[in-house]
A and B are shown apart, each in its own frame.
Chain A
Amino acid sequence: MPRACGPGVTTRWIWLVALFAQACEANPERLHRRRDPGALVVAQATGAISLEPVRVTDNESIEAGTLLYEGLVHWKPGTTDIEPGLATAWKTSPDGRTWTFTLRDHVVFHDGTACDAAAVVFSFERVIDPKHPQYIAGPIDGTYWRLLFKDVTRIVAIDAATVQIETARPYAPLLGELAMFPIVSPTAVATWGAAYRAHPVGTGPFAFESWVIGEQLVVHRNPTYWGKAPALERIVFRVVVDARQRLIDLESGSVDVATAILPDEQTFVELHPDLRLHHVASNDVSYLAFNTQHPPFDDPLVRRAASHVINKEPIVKLAYQGRATAADGPLPPTQWGYHAPDVKYAYDVALARKLLAQSKTFDPARVYRLYAPTTPRPYLAQPERVARSLAAALEEVGIHIELVLQPYKEHRLAVERGDHDLAVFGWIGDTGDPDNFLYVLFHSDNAVVGEAQNIAFYRDPGVDALLRQAQEVTDQATRSGLYAAVQDRIGLAAPWVPIAHSEVVVAARRSLAGVVLSPLGHPIYALMSRTEGR
């Protein structure tokens, strides 16, 4: 029996000693905080849908794309002003139809391949050239970009560091669009094919690490980034569907940034000693549009009278919880080209009545239908309430209103068809160019029944001419002048009552440094640094 014990005892001793060593080594601190101190954790309401940048339009995918990819030009952080990106310089031909970009030297993709003119051409051609082997076909994928680039006729690589883009006509907003357009690694796209959406390779400050769809996306610092290396080693985008849970996680420190904070919770964040609410004027506008094709709103007098009865302050303060600024025009003040209109419609009920009295077409006996969505939109958190207050205000001066409240999808179809007399709607600019607002929302091109973006069905040849001209000159100052003229004309015509520009809110730990939000509402992670838990 002792013979049998010999080796067993020895083994047990070794095992026991090893166990003790383990126990001695165990640092109690490790039992508590299991966070990677170099990683920033972002709690999002929903995850990215795809990391193939040109296929998506959802906010989270775009946000991830801004980390992984770069365009030929950049926005200056926190603004929509253009600065050099992958291209260090560019010029346009005298006719304004040829853009020549000089590429930055020695830029490489995350997979190590060079980001040269060919890669840039590849990135464009797979979107706009149906004959391209990697052409992104489909009714939805790439459509948005094809719409934006509909005037681009050709794109060529002059040499390894020079790219030329030709457009059918002079098209100044191209730069803003290029700031958003991602340059992808041709090698990676060719290698992964359809799976590229889960294996993105760009030149951005962060490189892809892992992605569990619907749960978590991880990116890490790009060690070969040409610009200033980000302070964060790693960013974890975690999907936390419940808004309350996002806040709790933020409060407990398990996440550093939480997006989509409910308006009700914002006070809490503001008062919380460990948290900070970051907000930036969003690149959007909410408005009450008059259907200028429907009497009596074809009469500018009526539209102006109605403009005078809308008191925007209570709406901003009460319906937006103060997280908005009252709008005096279609462009948000942060957008370049913004111009404070000459004509202002102060809250003046008496004047409104007087104006209405002058109108010949206004029929106080009629009831006008005001369409509004029931679904909250980023630019309008409480659409129904706003609609009611608007209706009440109009009733005040005798404009009888019938509210037509329906979900966003139906609402959108209805207003695009022009069913409404009045409609509450909004717009989110995404290229950072005034053209993106004014052309889309006021040009007669877009006042097509059934697919109208210009839901006021506002048609003004003068405005149309100005907008076209602004697209064709590249000089920003000139364009700003043109847009100012447009805004004055629109202000006078009053096809809208602009209501508010909302603010984008992001909650973050107070200890987080360098939080700057882009006008699109994304934190600029490359500038951020974590000081907590180190």
Chain B
Amino acid sequence: MTEPVLKVATRTPRPAQPISPELRPRLRTRLVIAMAIAALVPVAIVAVIATRVILSNLEAGLREDADRQLTVGLNLILRSVERVGDEAVQLSEDNDLSIAFETKKADPATMAIENWFAHEAAHVPSSRLQLIAPGGAVIFDRVIGGADQRFLNVGVTRADTETINANPWNRGLALVALDGVVVLRAISPVVDSKLALHGVLVLSVPLDGDFADAIKGALSADVLIGGRTGPLAVTFRSDLGKRAEPLALDPTDRAQALAGTHINKNLDVPSGHYAYALAALHDRADNVLGLVGVAVDREPLAATQRLAVRSLVIGGVGALGFALIVALFWSRRLGRPIAKLHRGAIAVSRGDLDHRIEVSGDDELTDLASAFNQMTGTLKDNQARLAARMREMVALHDAGRAVSSVIDLDSVSRKIVDAVARTFDVQVAALWISEGGATPGLRASAARARRADQASSLAASDSLAPAEALASIADRAASTKQPVRLDAVAELGAVIALPLVRQARVVGVLAVARAASAREFSEADLNLLTTFADQAGAAVENALLYREVRGASEELEKKVRLRTAELTAINTELGRALSDLRETQSQLVLSERMAGLGLLVAGVAHEINSPTAAIRGSIDGLAATLARVAKQAADISARAPNPAIGSAIVDYLAKIAPRLAERPLQTGVTARRAARELTAAIDAACAGIGGSTIVIDTPAIAAELAYLGSTAAEATALFEALGSERHLAAAVVATLVDHVYLHRTASTVGHAVGQIQRIVGALKSYSHLDQQPTRTEADLHEGIDTTLVLLHYALRDIVVERDYGDLPHVPVFVDELNHVWTNLISNAYQALAGKGTIHITTRVEDASHGADAVVRVIDTGPGIDPEVLPRIFEPFYTTKPKGEGTGLGLGICRQIVQKHGGTLACHSEPGRTAFEVRLPISPRGHVS
């Protein structure tokens, strides 16, 4: 009994979770994703911002670097310029030089200056050194640093020396634009210590590519330098170390730069990518002479940029990776206790309420685990209580079912007592039934008591003794219709007595007693017992009712048996009468068939009489003709000397006679005309043959032949066959006439015999003597035609019009149906009284039950009297004079048609009476 209870409790054992607790990917995945996003978003933001800042800083830095380099470059250039100036001053103030001047005034360009130059000018940067005497003459002109092409055109000219001489004390630096090249001039008067003037020293340096190279060396950036016009000399080098072509500057940039604006732009030339800055170069008088620029290679900065971006990317990926690892670690740590909980939940769901989760740590999950354990414990207690209650209920239910399953009052009582005793663990259980009738009151019906020595089960006993102790309590319950509950009755203990009430009527009382030592009745017991009492009451009532019903039904059965015997006797008599009836009916059918046969025989006799007479007549003629033919043949052979001719004649006869026999005989005008043509033909034939002088009666022969219907050619053939023996012609023609006659007669006889055969065949067919009395697929038209053949004689003056549709074969009893056709057609011609038309039409027509084959026989007779019309199908009704008809014709016809499942109907009006036979194409008729 415990198993079903458990089944109820774990009614929906869910399929085990598809994910094993160890893997737990969902929670962990979510955790990992969340933490990765938490890392990725700031990393991405930081990376983007940092990249932005770095890139913009780098770009700005590049520009600024170019600007700064320009500042430095300008500084370097100007320092170089300054240095040239300083050198010029130093050289010019050199004592040795002034001494050289003083001592060799007459010839300044002598060894003294050469010596000075050799000593002092060695450390001077590459330039062109010129010394100008106070008179303006250039007395010394050397290129320092070798004879370089650069310096050829940069020296002072005559005009320059004049300018210089005008103010010999002017010391200074000047930038002079010469042919697109800016030339630096450092001018310094050559003086002695007392500032006495000896001449002027000029150092000229072109600020060209080589100059720029020198700057580049110190600057570590490329330098651009040039005049106001023309391309700028550059220090860019190709990979092979060759100086790049001078840079042609954008005119706008040049104009701006010359106007004093700093240009700072990107420059892309074949030798590389640069950021360059341009500034104007001017002399001391602020005249703009040219442009100076510095180009910073963008490549190192671009590399830095790439490095920065790469570092950011690597850093970002690293951070992300670290975040993922941390996320995995944390998710694993978080996942483990959850997995434990999950296992516990699965165990509980499987019914293992003893499962406990190991509790460790001090966090929410631990709290959760404790709560889970607590929940499991509570669940277990509840389940145990629930199971006990369920057990009782099921037991009670079973008891109720058991009680309901029997209807015998004693059995019901015993079962009730047994069930109560078993379910409620009581000492005593007893049941009383309310008795009606003369002495109403309670009657003990069943009781059970547990003997003292039997602790667990109640003794089955038919004794009602235990009930006696409880009888008074039961009476009380019955009278009050209320449950009586007593907790301590002497010797019995706790007692409950329950009235079994049905529709406000007490049908019995159920009482139980539990020993004082045992458990007291609980409220739940009382409720359960009350519920059971309802069922028990219903069962007791049913049992009482059943007892009454059984008595009544036995009475009824007896009456039915008597009535059935009477009915059986009557039935037997009825069966006998029915067989008599069927016999009479078949006799009637037979007599009607005989009447039809008589009619037929009369017609057949007449039919056969005619061909027979024809045969007799022919036979008479045949004998005489055969005799004559034999005589003629002998005559012709006798007269014909030439056997060849004889055989020719025979051949001719044999050939022509049957042909002529088929032609009609010619008489009158046509015969005479034919005879004339034949005469001419014969004459022509005879003339053609010639030779004979025998005169023959050509017109007579021709007339005979014409009578027979011979043609000119046939006649000519005859005479050709005869040849010279044309005198035999007449005889041959006579023989021919006989031959033709013979053939004709034979034909007539054949015809007559054929007719007889046909009639006999029709009879056979009509009577269907050779067919089984079963349905056969038959052509209805065949049956109608056969009937018409048989009735040919009777119908000789009647016009029969047949209008046949396309009927399929219909399964019918052919001979029986032929009676119908015979009857209908006979009635029609009788109605016509020998003059009129009979239409026979056949059609396939749709009907409610399928397709019907419909045959209508319509006559143009006076019609059937409307008063008679309803009765025409009645048996024995006839309008014919006595002896002409039995009155069964149409009735039997209707029966036959109905046997086929069809209908026979009649519509009549003067001039048109139609009988309609409908036969189902698919058989559904019945055989009676």
Bitwise, A1-39 to B at CB < 8 A (1) or not (0) is 111000000000000100010011010110110000000
Given A20-B45, A29-B60, also A392-B172 (CB < 8 A): no
* List of B residues within 8 angstroms of A318 by Cβ: 169, 171, 189, 191, 195
Q: Is the CB of A272 within 8 A of B78?
A: yes
- The reply to whether the CB of B81 lies closer than 8 angstroms to some CB of chain A is yes
Q: Which of A1, A319, A321, A396 has the most CB of B within 10 A?
A: A1
Given A313-B169, A317-B171, A318-B191, also A32-B64 (CB < 8 A): yes
Q: Which of B274-282, B634-642, B717-725 contacts the other chain?
A: B274-282
State which of B74, B169, B170, B364 has its C-beta within 8 Å of the C-beta of A273: B74
* List of B residues within 8 angstroms of A311 by Cβ: 195
Q: Is the CB of B282 within 8 A of A271?
A: yes
- The reply to whether the CB of B757 lies closer than 8 angstroms to some CB of chain A is no
Q: Which of B49-57, B208-216, B239-247 contacts the other chain?
A: B49-57
Q: Is the CB of A251 within 8 A of B45?
A: no
Bitwise, B149-182 to A at CB < 8 A (1) or not (0) is 0000000000000000000011111010000000
Closest Cβ of chain B: how far from A308's Cβ, in Å?
Answer: 16
* List of B residues within 8 angstroms of A1 by Cβ: 363
How long is the Cα–Cα vector from A321 to B169 in the complex, in angstroms?
Answer: 10
- The reply to whether the CB of A322 lies closer than 8 angstroms to some CB of chain B is yes
Closest Cβ of chain A: how far from B57's Cβ, in Å?
Answer: 5
* List of B residues within 8 angstroms of A314 by Cβ: 169, 189, 191, 195, 197
State which of A28, A313, A396 has its C-beta within 8 Å of the C-beta of B57: A28
How long is the Cα–Cα vector from A270 to B281 in the complex, in angstroms?
Answer: 10
How long is the Cα–Cα vector from A252 to B64 in the complex, in angstroms?
Answer: 11
How long is the Cα–Cα vector from A55 to B315 in the complex, in angstroms?
Answer: 65
Q: Is the CB of B195 within 8 A of A24?
A: no
* List of B residues within 8 angstroms of A264 by Cβ: 82, 86
- The reply to whether the CB of B46 lies closer than 8 angstroms to some CB of chain A is yes
Q: Is the CB of A389 within 8 A of B49?
A: no
Q: Is the CB of A271 within 8 A of B284?
A: yes
* List of A residues within 8 angstroms of B195 by Cβ: 311, 314-315, 318-319, 389, 392-393
- The reply to whether the CB of A417 lies closer than 8 angstroms to some CB of chain B is no
In A284-319, the 8 Å CB interface with B consists of 311, 313-315, 317-319
Q: Is the CB of B279 within 8 A of A322?
A: no
State which of A31, A271, A274, A317 has its C-beta within 8 Å of the C-beta of B169: A317
* List of B residues within 8 angstroms of A313 by Cβ: 169
Bitwise, B289-313 to A at CB < 8 A (1) or not (0) is 0001000000000000000000000
Q: Is the CB of B82 within 8 A of A23?
A: no
How long is the Cα–Cα vector from A24 to B49 in the complex, in angstroms?
Answer: 6
Closest Cβ of chain B: how far from A384's Cβ, in Å?
Answer: 11
Q: Is the CB of A267 within 8 A of B173?
A: yes
* List of B residues within 8 angstroms of A31 by Cβ: 57, 60
Closest Cβ of chain A: how far from B293's Cβ, in Å?
Answer: 11
- The reply to whether the CB of A510 lies closer than 8 angstroms to some CB of chain B is yes
Q: Is the CB of B170 within 8 A of A23?
A: no
How long is the Cα–Cα vector from A1 to B283 in the complex, in angstroms?
Answer: 77
Q: Is the CB of B49 within 8 A of A23?
A: yes
Given A28-B57, A28-B60, A273-B281, also A16-B78 (CB < 8 A): no
Closest Cβ of chain B: how far from A402's Cβ, in Å?
Answer: 16
- Identity of the chain B residue whose Cβ is nearest the Cβ of A394 in the assembled complex: B194
- Identity of the chain B residue whose Cβ is nearest the Cβ of A272 in the assembled complex: B78
* List of A residues within 8 angstroms of B292 by Cβ: 273
State which of A24, A32, A273 has its C-beta within 8 Å of the C-beta of B260: A273
- The reply to whether the CB of A268 lies closer than 8 angstroms to some CB of chain B is yes
- The reply to whether the CB of B85 lies closer than 8 angstroms to some CB of chain A is yes
Q: Is the CB of B279 within 8 A of A274?
A: yes
- The reply to whether the CB of B693 lies closer than 8 angstroms to some CB of chain A is no
Chain B residues touching A, range: 35 or more
- The reply to whether the CB of A104 lies closer than 8 angstroms to some CB of chain B is no
- The reply to whether the CB of A388 lies closer than 8 angstroms to some CB of chain B is yes
How long is the Cα–Cα vector from A24 to B282 in the complex, in angstroms?
Answer: 43
Q: Is the CB of A388 within 8 A of B193?
A: yes
Q: Is the CB of B71 within 8 A of A252?
A: yes
Closest Cβ of chain B: how far from A5's Cβ, in Å?
Answer: 10
Q: Is the CB of A273 within 8 A of B193?
A: no
Given A20-B46, A318-B189, A322-B172, also A251-B75 (CB < 8 A): yes
Closest Cβ of chain B: how far from A183's Cβ, in Å?
Answer: 41
- Identity of the chain B residue whose Cβ is nearest the Cβ of A265 in the assembled complex: B82
Bitwise, B324-368 to A at CB < 8 A (1) or not (0) is 000000000000000000000000000000000000000110000
How long is the Cα–Cα vector from A314 to B280 in the complex, in angstroms?
Answer: 32
Q: Is the CB of B79 within 8 A of A268?
A: yes
State which of B46, B82, B169, B260 has its C-beta within 8 Å of the C-beta of A268: B82
How long is the Cα–Cα vector from A60 to B195 in the complex, in angstroms?
Answer: 35
* List of B residues within 8 angstroms of A319 by Cβ: 195
- The reply to whether the CB of B230 lies closer than 8 angstroms to some CB of chain A is no
Q: Which of A272, A315, A322 has the most CB of B within 10 A?
A: A272
How long is the Cα–Cα vector from A274 to B292 in the complex, in angstroms?
Answer: 12
Bitwise, B181-206 to A at CB < 8 A (1) or not (0) is 00000000101011111000000000
How long is the Cα–Cα vector from A392 to B196 in the complex, in angstroms?
Answer: 9
How long is the Cα–Cα vector from A510 to B259 in the complex, in angstroms?
Answer: 13
Closest Cβ of chain A: how far from B279's Cβ, in Å?
Answer: 5
How long is the Cα–Cα vector from A31 to B363 in the complex, in angstroms?
Answer: 50
How long is the Cα–Cα vector from A28 to B52 in the complex, in angstroms?
Answer: 10
Closest Cβ of chain B: how far from A263's Cβ, in Å?
Answer: 11
In A240-263, the 8 Å CB interface with B consists of 251-252
How long is the Cα–Cα vector from A271 to B61 in the complex, in angstroms?
Answer: 27
- The reply to whether the CB of B42 lies closer than 8 angstroms to some CB of chain A is yes
Bitwise, B56-91 to A at CB < 8 A (1) or not (0) is 110011001000100100110011011001100000
Q: Is the CB of B169 within 8 A of A267?
A: no
How long is the Cα–Cα vector from A24 to B71 in the complex, in angstroms?
Answer: 31
Given A251-B75, A268-B78, A273-B282, also A16-B42 (CB < 8 A): yes
Given A23-B53, A314-B197, also A2-B363 (CB < 8 A): yes
Q: Which of B46, B71, B78, B292 has the most CB of A within 10 A?
A: B78
Q: Is the CB of B46 within 8 A of A271?
A: no
* List of A residues within 8 angstroms of B81 by Cβ: 267-268, 271
Closest Cβ of chain B: how far from A55's Cβ, in Å?
Answer: 41
How long is the Cα–Cα vector from A87 to B86 in the complex, in angstroms?
Answer: 52
* List of B residues within 8 angstroms of A389 by Cβ: 193-195
- Identity of the chain B residue whose Cβ is nearest the Cβ of A313 in the assembled complex: B169
How long is the Cα–Cα vector from A1 to B81 in the complex, in angstroms?
Answer: 74
Given A20-B49, A273-B260, also A267-B85 (CB < 8 A): yes
How long is the Cα–Cα vector from A24 to B52 in the complex, in angstroms?
Answer: 9
How long is the Cα–Cα vector from A393 to B192 in the complex, in angstroms?
Answer: 12
Bitwise, B568-598 to A at CB < 8 A (1) or not (0) is 0000000000000000000000000000000
Q: Is the CB of B60 within 8 A of A251?
A: no
Q: Is the CB of B56 within 8 A of A28?
A: yes
Closest Cβ of chain B: how far from A388's Cβ, in Å?
Answer: 6
* List of A residues within 8 angstroms of B191 by Cβ: 314, 318
How long is the Cα–Cα vector from A168 to B60 in the complex, in angstroms?
Answer: 69
- Identity of the chain A residue whose Cβ is nearest the Cβ of B289 in the assembled complex: A271
- Identity of the chain B residue whose Cβ is nearest the Cβ of A270 in the assembled complex: B284
Closest Cβ of chain B: how far from A255's Cβ, in Å?
Answer: 14
Contacts A/B (CB < 8 Å), 23 sampled: A2-B364, A20-B46, A28-B53, A28-B60, A29-B60, A252-B68, A252-B71, A264-B82, A264-B86, A270-B284, A272-B74, A273-B260, A273-B280, A274-B74, A314-B169, A314-B189, A317-B169, A317-B170, A322-B170, A322-B171, A389-B193, A392-B194, A395-B194
Beyond A3-B363, A28-B60, A317-B171, list 17 extra A-B contacts (CB 8 Å): A1-B363, A2-B363, A3-B364, A20-B42, A28-B56, A267-B82, A267-B85, A271-B283, A272-B74, A272-B78, A313-B169, A315-B195, A318-B189, A318-B191, A388-B194, A389-B194, A393-B195
CB-CB nearest 9 A-B residue pairs: A392-B194, A317-B169, A314-B195, A389-B195, A28-B56, A270-B284, A273-B279, A23-B49, A273-B280
Binding site for B on A (CB under 8 A): 1-3, 16, 20, 23-24, 26, 28-29, 31-32, 251-252, 264, 267-268, 270-274, 311, 313-315, 317-319, 321-322, 388-389, 392-393, 395-396, 510
